[in-house]
């Protein structure tokens, strides 16, 4: 048995399996993207700080 000959086929089969796994995972994500989202489960409140823009506008414009 020629080991290098079998090794090339093994690498080709392994890369094919990895490609099929990645493409099936990507297609699964693509098709599930349009599913409705439970808004109460993923409700997020974002509190941003209040910025005093007058303080930043008075800063020097020099480099």
**pLDDT (tens digit, 9 = 90+) per residue, 14-48?**
999 999 999 999 999 999 988 888 888 888 888 98
Tokens, residue 8: 């090339």
In the block, residue with structure tokens 């509190």? 47
**Per-position DSSP letters for 4-62, written without gaps between them:** HHHHHHHHHHHHHHHHHHHHHHHHHHHHTTTS---TTTT-----PPPP-HHHHHTS---
Q: How far is CA 17 from CA 12, 22, 51, in A?
A: 9, 9, 53
**Per-residue pLDDT, 48:** 87
What are the backbone dihedrals phi and psi of residue 60, each rounded to the nearest 5 degrees, phi first? -65, 140
Q: What pTM did the predictor assign?
A: 0.51
């Amino acid at each position: 048995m020629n080991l290098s000959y079998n090794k090339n086929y093994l690498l080709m089969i392994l890369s094919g399996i990895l490609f099929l796994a990645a493409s099936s995972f990507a297609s699964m994500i693509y098709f599930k993207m349009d599913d409705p989202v439970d808004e109460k489960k993923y409700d997020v409140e974002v509190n941003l700080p209040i910025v005093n823009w007058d303080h930043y506008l008075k800063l020097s414009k020099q480099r």
